[in-house]
Amino acid sequence: MNIALIGYGKMGKEIEKVALERNHIISHKFSSASPFHRDSNIDTDVAIEFTAPDFAVTNINQCLDMGIPIVSGTTGWIKELPEIEKKIAKTNGALLYASNFSLGVHLFFELSKKMGALMNKYSYQANITETHHTEKKDAPSGTAITLAQILIKELTHYNNWSVQDGQAIAKDTLPIASKRIENIPGTHEVRFTSEIDTIALTHIANNRKGFALGAVIAAEWILDQRGLFTMADVLNLK
């Protein structure tokens, strides 16, 4: 399979390694020095996009216009999803997006969902903490937001989420704390706390390879698909 990499930073280079290990060909490598644009001469089976929120929507739209299935791991653009869905329908294209491509994170999502369903019957308060390296731009992380959305569906006493910034938070609001620390692996924790005890679920990313592997597996999966998908479709978790 020919893969175009849109974004060739640390993540793009890790995806390249995994793709080559799985006997794929990297057909194109786009970066800030050699950007992807509407006039790019591109002949590939699928694109994997890891850039920045300001560029993701343009990159996705251009791939859809070119008839190229695209896997996007960029976060921070999800408010544009309704318009992207219209574009997918118009072009009969394919997009698979995820806030996190780690297979372990999606198992963590499922465990958190089941834990939330259990805790909904009892007097536990939930909170989320996400910790990343200082280079990560968006806060809270896309993974933490996805996690909050999962828990809000299961915990009926929460209606929305909010960043925990020292201000008082309403009882119906699920708090997310974001930390940025030098040279720390991505960590997400869900805590359920009562007067008598605390139960916690934690996912720690040891390296980028897990994210890269998930992205390549997603690219393999989407090749002959049409529509809008997430990793839940790839892993058959829906």
| Active-site residue list | 132, 136
The three-state secondary structure class of 123 is coil
Q: At what angle do helices 53-66 and 81-91 cross, to 10 degrees?
A: 10
Side by side, the strands of the sheet bearing 187-193 are 160-163, 173-180, 125-132, 187-193, 198-204
Q: What is the dihedral of CA 46, 140, 112, 152, to 10 degrees?
A: -110
Distance CA 118, CA 57 (A): 37
The closest alpha carbon to 217, from 56, 52, 69, 18, belongs to: 18
Residue carrying the six token digits 């049409």: 226
The dihedrals phi and psi of 15, each to the nearest 5 degrees, come to -65, -40
DSSP alpha helices (H): ranges in 122-238? 142-154, 209-222, 231-234
